[in-house]
Each structure stands twice: as C-alpha cells, then as structure tokens.
Amino acid sequence: MNRLSIGGYAALFGLAFFLPATAYAQQEVKQDSVGPVGTANVTPVTQAMLNAADKSATNFLLTNGNYAQTRFHLAKQINQKNVKNLHVAWIYQTDVKESLETSPIVVDGVMFVTTSYSHVYALDAKTGRELWHYNHKMGPITTYCCGPNNRGVQVLNDMVYLATLDAKLIALSAKTGDVVWKTDIADPEMGYSETMAPTVVKDKVLIGTNGGEYGIRGFVRAYDAKTGKQVWSFNTIPDSTVGVWATKDATGRDMHRDIAAEKDALAKNGDPFAKLGGGVWQNPAVDLASNRIYFVVGNPSPDLDGSTRPGDNLYTDSLVALDLDTGKYVCHFQYIAHDVWDLDAVSPPVLVDVKDKSGKTVPGVLHAGKTGHIYVHDRKDCSLIRFSEAMVPQENMWVLPTKDGARMLPGANGGVEWSPIATDPSQSLAYAINLHQPMTYRVESSPYPNGKLWLGGAFTAIPSEKQSGNITAVNYDTGKIKWQVKTPEPMIGGILATAGGLVFTGEGNGKFAAYNSADGKELWSFRAGAGVNAPPSSYMVGGKQYIVVGAGGNTQVNFKRGNNIIAFTLD
Amino acid sequence: MAMKLCSVILLGLALGAGARPAVADSIAEKVEVCAGCHGADGKPVDKTIPVIWGQLTGYIYIQLRDFKRGDRKSEIMQPIASGFERDDMLAVAEYFSQKKWPDLGQPRAPKDVSKKATDAEHSVGCTGCHLEQFQGTSTTPRLAGQSREYLAKTMADLRTRARGNNPGMSDLMIATPENDLTALAEFLAGL
C-alpha cells in the first residue's frame, strides 16, 4: 500500500463519516455498476443484440448505429421541445490531443472511445469515469495520409475489436482492455494502415485498409472473431481492372477520357492491378436478410495521374456487394471510372427501403459522394435508381488535371468526405454534411515509389476563394433537397438523427448543434473549444438519454485540435 | 568547405566501419560516424545538413533504407547506409530519435513571412501529414526547428526531383509557388 492509497482511503472514510448512510450506499452501488478503475463490467454483446441494434433506444452498438448504418437512434427523451435545455453531463479528456474521429460505442452503461494513434478507452457512460485505457505500442513504421486517426471499435461477446495505424487487428478483453489476440493485416512499410472501426458479425471481423495514396492493392477481409485467423479476403482490385471503358460518370457527364491512349498504354504495360490502390476505410453495411455486405472502394493510385493506369480501374470509386460467408463478389456500381480527381467513394453506405423508378418500395442502398450527390441504389443488383440534386456547387466537371492546374468544383475532399450520413426513414430523408473547397487539380507523372506517397500531382485550395460547408437533408425517394443549412467552414465528421425529431452535428470551429430534422431549424448549440469533427452517438443510462461526441479537431482540414469526449443530457 | 571536410572524414570512417563484422558493432560504434556531419551535440556542422537528433524513428529508418537502395542519392550517406541491415537501420533510427532535438537558435519568422508561409501551407495542406505543430509522425519528418538552409535546399531539390525518394512530396512542392518556399523555410525553421 503506498502513501497515495492510504491518503485516498483516509479521505473516503472521512467523507463517509459525514455522508448520510443512504447516500454512501448509493455511491457504492453506482461505483460497482460498471466496475472499479481497471475493470469494466460489460454486458456480453450477443449477435442477437447486434442484429437488433436498430431497435435499441438504450445502446449504440455499431459505428453507424446498426448494421444498416442508418445513424438513426430511437431514443426520444431529448426532443425538439426540450433540446434547448441540453447541457454538459461530463467531459472526459483523453491523453491524445490530435484529430478525433471516434464514434462512441455504448453497451449498457459502458462506453468505448478511441483516439488518434489507436488508443482505446472504456468509460462509465453515466459519469465519464475512466475504467481502462489501452495504449497501443505503435510499430516504428506507419504510413498514412490525413492524420493518425481512429474511428472506433466494435464489441462482440466479451471482446473489443480494434484496427491500428500500424495495420494490426487486435481483440481486447472488454472487461480489462488486455490483448486477447493480435493479427498482422498488412505491411505498413508498403503504405497499408488502419483507421476504420472493424465491423463484427457472425463471428467474423470485417476490415478493409487505407493506402490509396500509396499504391497498395486494396482488400476487404474477414477474420475469425475468436482466433484472429483470416477467413476470407476479397481484392477490391480484381486481376482484370479494365471494365467497360465508360466515358460518362454515374450522372451521365462526360469524363473526357482518351480511350485510344489508354488502350495503347494497356497494350504496352498490361493491367495496372498490382498497385492500383482501392482502399476501403469505412465500415461496410450488413444486410442480414440477404447475408451480404455493401461497402465503397476508394480512389485509384496515383490519385491524379491516369497515364499509368489505363482502363476503368475496377473497383475503385465503386459500391461493391459481397456474400458475407464467403467474401465472393455479388455486384458493383462504379461512380467514376478512371478517376483523376480523387473524387472517390468514401462515406459509408446505408441500407434503407427506397422507392424505385416506378414508385415501388424496394430494399435500397444510399451512398453520399464526394461529388456532392447522394446516390440511391437497388440492393438487389447495385444498380443506380437515382442521384440527388447536387448539395454543393459543381463547376467545370470533368475538366482534366493539367500541369499548371485546372479549377474544378467540388474540391478533392468533396462534397461528402468520409463523414457518415444519417437517415430518418419516417421522413425518407438522408442528412449529409458537405465541404465546399474550390481547388485546382494538377497532374505530374512519376513511377511507383515503393510504398511512398504517390499522388500523381496535387490538388490545392485556391487561396483567394472562400471555403464553406453545409448540412443538407435530401429526400432519397425523390432526390430533391428538403433543406440546407450553410456553415461558415467546410464540414467533416458525421451526423446523427434521433427519434426526437433532431439531427446533431459539429463544425470545425467548435460549434456542436441540434437541428429540427424536418426543416433544419437550429434549436440548440454548444461551443466545444476545439473542432467537433466526429460522428455523435446517442444512448440511455439510468433512465436518461445522452448525446456524446468527440471534440478533437481534424488533421485533414486542419481544424483546432483538442482531446475531449463530451456527453450532454437534460436535467 | 565544411561539407568537403565532412565528406573526407565520413568516407574514411565508413570504410573503416565496413571492414568490421556488422554484428560486432554496438550502436555507439555504428553512430560514431554520424557525429562528423550531424554534430556531436546534435547541431549539424553545416547548415545544409539536417538535424537528426530527435527526428522520428520511422523517418530516419526510411531515409537510411532509401540511401542503401539508391532511391535517395548521396555520395556520403549511400556508402554508410549500404553497410546496414534493416535491424541496424531501425536501431540507429531509434537511437537518434531518443536524443533531444537541438535548439539551432533560429529566430521566429516575422508576421508577414509567417502569413505568406501559412497561406502556402493551407493551400497544399502540409499539416495533413506533418501535423498541426509540424512535429511529424513516424515516417513523416519533424519540420519544426529544422535548419532553414536544409529545409530550403530540400524543398528546392524535391521541386526539381533532384531528391527523388518522395515523388508525392515533389508533386506538392511543384504545386507550391516557388517564391513561397523561402517563407516556408524561414517559418518552419523558427518554430
């Protein structure tokens, strides 16, 4: 026993002496409900709980709320009438002051959050008290762009699953944070890294990879949740990437491809599949009914120079569906073939019922593009039903990048970046946050640099042009914009909708606000002091609803850094 | 002149080091040669030579690897790095990363220079990799407080691809107006 603990006990005994017996007993009960420091008494998360995550008003079990990734939470204690009374319940300060992109996961009063550099914390969701902290010992080599981010964990049974910046997949004990198993996913020296939260389903841990700026060959893999052994692996870049020589994008606009030159390059150099990029760094949606997963594949490598990669560059910039059990290909839809603007597909897909072209309700898939459109697909075959009105200004599309720089809108971050959208199926609305960053696109040609940054040029913000952002609600059955709120800075992070008729989202300037989900009217706001660039979660504990969000800024858009996890509640 | 002298010392040391079996070399022996140019106190003997004390492990390792492969050209560094295996490189990198970053006494850039530099930075997005305070991370180097002359030379060399081991950085430097590079070097050196 050290001096501190003697002092601690003395203080506790002293307090207990003056407290009424009942208050002391309540304090004890509260402390024990989620465990002493170093231990989290976590309810084992069953597959049945995960399957029904969309029906829980208590927990927030997956990165985007549920397997369909609707980011619609059923709790409605906080609603349009009382949200004005929302206030801070607690603030937890992590050890890492760097970009926060975590989606807090909540399991019966225990919260799991992550920070940059792959730290994990278990917290008491009612008080913010730390229960344990996993401080990942990072390997000496990590290779990634856009920040040392981590977007969260998932829990299955009594294990917490984490993917790390040095490309490892790790299972932690949910109770203690101790490592149960660890698997190498890929070689970080070759440009592979992990920032996404794994998706765990049916004893499989699903994970993709970053690396589209480093000439990787992308994949989505399933690992055995109990052992960490690989079950299947799907190359997001197939052996033949040529495709159909598409000349138009998903919206019918000409992409100005020089097909003849590409065919010459193909004949001369062969298929470019080996270093074509195609990262997947956002969660797949899981369709439990059809036993399929749906995810989007990122940009080809190098980003802006298409001369070394003839063909459509399948399956980059695409929605892809696989069989969950086998990892076999089911269908895909490519938004932009042979992308030379890095306007790829990043924001995680969402499964909702949608109206098809004839007005019939069918199972659908939504994806919010960097182009600024929300794309609506038929889940059966990935085909496109419609695309929404543009949520951001589009100009000069698709001008080809030049040596001196060609101006085009949107800028290379979007539209919608990785930020997950939210939906409210009762209103057929999808809520997206957008960036407006006028940029010039430049092309340069250089050979594959062995796992180094391989951009094939640069996209640069135009200093004289004002940047901004917006929050946009789109009716996915019509493609029309229902409402839009302009924001002074580009938006990146994520958004949440609740059954209380609200959407919550944050801005780089530290503002975190609630809006009426039907008309976009601002109903409440809070200043966090650092960029709120993470997706919010909602949960209930002790009969009270909480909204929680990370305020740690953002590396990619360079918003002010912080290290706070902030939970809000009503009195 | 300093550079030339440094080259002579180093070539001699490198040859000597190469004659001994690598396994017998302790880290102290391996890094002995480095002080000739990078400074016995972490302050380089010539302003166009980088600070490596306190630099990041991943970055130093990648540079040693690239010198050995010939991806980064240097008549001085190539013979030294070619005697190293991967574990040696990681050990040397780790050794220097643990040293305290030296204060080169470079002044803060004046406001107008800082403004010009940060405008250029915002356009190309340096902090996306080098992070908010330009401290770097893993394989992306720390730039804050690096020698101004080395920074200026490196950016210029990346721009012409004379430094050829990071084409992505070359693309970004080519996209940055040439007259902003001086301001960037002064700004970063003064952090």
| Digit-coded pLDDT (tens) for A64-113 | 999 999 999 999 999 999 999 999 999 999 999 999 999 999 999 999 99
Determine the distance in angstroms separating the CA of B146 from the nearest CA of chain A, rounded to an integer: 21
What are residue A405's phi and psi, to 5 degrees? 100, 125
Q: What is the dihedral of CA A116, A121, A124, A127, to 10 degrees?
A: -40
Task: Quote the mean pLDDT of chain A.
Answer: 94
A558 at B interface, C-beta within 8 A: yes
Query: What average pLDDT score do residues B84-92 get?
Result: 96
| Digit-coded pLDDT (tens) for A423-440 | 999 999 999 999 999 999
pLDDT-derived band at B11 (thresholds 50, 70, 90) equals: very low
A209 at B interface, C-beta within 8 A: no
| Residue in B58, B161, B167 closest to A142 by CB | B58
Based on C-alpha coordinates, what's the Rg of chain B?
Answer: 17
CB contact set of A110 (below 8 Å; sequence gap of 6+) = A34, A40, A41, A42, A43, A122, A123, A124, A125, A131, A174
Distance CA A561, CA A325 (A): 41
**Cβ(A260)–Cβ(A176) below 8 Å:** no
Rounded to the nearest angstrom, the gap between the alpha carbon of residue A123 and the centroid of all alpha carbons in its chain is 21
**Cβ(A420)–Cβ(A69) below 8 Å:** yes
Q: Which residues of A are catalytic?
A: 342
| Digit-coded pLDDT (tens) for B134-157 | 999 999 999 999 999 999 999 999
**Cβ(A497)–Cβ(A534) below 8 Å:** no
- Beta-strand pair A457-461/A439-443: antiparallel
Measured from the Cβ of residue A356, the count of other Cβ atoms closer than 10 Å reads 17
Distance CA A412, CA A410 (A): 7
A464 at B interface, C-beta within 8 A: no
| Residue in B128, B161, B176 closest to A555 by CB | B128
**Are A454 and B168 within 8 A, CB to CB?**
yes
Instruction: Return the pLDDT at A32.
Output: 46
Instruction: Return the pLDDT at B46.
Output: 96
What are residue A547's phi and psi, to 5 degrees? -115, 130
**Are A558 and B167 within 8 A, CB to CB?**
no
Query: What average pLDDT score do residues A470-480 get?
Result: 98
**Are B138 and A142 within 8 A, CB to CB?**
yes
Distance CA A75, CA A159 (A): 26
pLDDT-derived band at A24 (thresholds 50, 70, 90) equals: very low
Q: What is the DSSP string of A117-164?
A: GG-EEEEETTT--EEEEE-----S----SS-S-----EEEBTEEEEE-
| Digit-coded pLDDT (tens) for B104-145 | 999 999 999 999 999 999 999 999 999 999 999 999 999 999
- Beta-strand pair A159-163/A72-73: unpaired
Closest of A197, A96, A199, A210 to residue A142, by C-alpha = A210
**Are A405 and B62 within 8 A, CB to CB?**
no
Determine the distance in angstroms separating the CA of B122 from the nearest CA of chain A, rounded to an integer: 7
Instruction: Return the pLDDT at B6.
Output: 56
Tokens for A19? 């407290």
| Digit-coded pLDDT (tens) for A178-193 | 999 999 999 999 999 9
Enumerate long-range contacts of B127-135, CB under 8 Å, 24 or more apart.
B127/A555, B127/A558, B128/A145, B128/A146, B128/A147, B128/A555, B128/A556, B128/A558, B129/A145, B129/A146, B129/A453, B131/A98, B131/A147, B131/A148, B131/A555, B132/A98, B132/A553, B132/A555, B132/A558, B132/A561, B133/B191, B134/B188, B134/B191
What are residue B116's phi and psi, to 5 degrees? -60, -40
| Digit-coded pLDDT (tens) for A352-381 | 999 999 999 999 999 999 999 999 999 999
CB contact set of A266 (below 8 Å; sequence gap of 6+) = A242, A310, A311
| Residue in B94, B137, B174 closest to A444 by CB | B174
Distance CA A143, CA A126 (A): 37
Helix, strand and coil percent figures for chain B, each rounded to 5: 60, 0, 40
Query: What average pLDDT score do residues A37-46 get?
Result: 91
Q: B129 to chain A: which residues are within 8 Å by CB?
A: 145-146, 453
Closest of A197, A40, A30, A45 to residue A132, by C-alpha = A40
Q: A462 to chain B: which residues are within 8 Å by CB?
A: 123
Determine the distance in angstroms separating the CA of A216 from the nearest CA of chain B, rounded to an integer: 15
Which among A418, A444, A554 is the top mutation candidate for probing chain B, defined by the most B β-carbons within 10 Å of its own β-carbon? A444
Determine the distance in angstroms separating the CA of A377 from the nearest CA of chain B, rounded to an integer: 33
Q: A401 to chain B: which residues are within 8 Å by CB?
A: none
Distance CA B51, CA B150 (A): 9
**Are B71 and A555 within 8 A, CB to CB?**
no
Measured from the Cβ of residue A260, the count of other Cβ atoms closer than 10 Å reads 8
B170 at A interface, C-beta within 8 A: yes
| Digit-coded pLDDT (tens) for A211-244 | 999 999 999 999 999 999 999 999 999 999 999 9
Which among A143, A555, A559 is the top mutation candidate for probing chain B, defined by the most B β-carbons within 10 Å of its own β-carbon? A555
B167 at A interface, C-beta within 8 A: yes
pLDDT at residue B19 greater than cutoff 80: no
Enumerate long-range contacts of B179-183, CB under 8 Å, 24 or more apart.
B180/B116, B180/B117, B180/B119, B180/B120, B181/B152, B181/B155, B181/B156, B182/B152, B183/B109, B183/B113, B183/B114, B183/B116, B183/B117, B183/B120
What is the model's pTM?
0.93
Q: B137 to chain A: which residues are within 8 Å by CB?
A: 142, 148
End-to-end Cα distance, chain B: 28
Determine the distance in angstroms separating the CA of B128 from the nearest CA of chain A, rounded to an integer: 5
**Cβ(A164)–Cβ(A136) below 8 Å:** yes
Measured from the Cβ of residue A235, the count of other Cβ atoms closer than 10 Å reads 17
Beta strand residue intervals within A210-310, DSSP E:
219-224, 230-235, 285-287, 292-297
**Are B175 and A461 within 8 A, CB to CB?**
no
Q: ipTM, 2 decimals?
A: 0.89
A406 at B interface, C-beta within 8 A: no
The answer for B 103-162 residues in CB contact with A (under 8 A) is 119, 122-125, 127-129, 131-132, 137-139, 161
pLDDT at residue A36 greater than cutoff 90: no
Based on C-alpha coordinates, what's the Rg of chain A?
Answer: 23
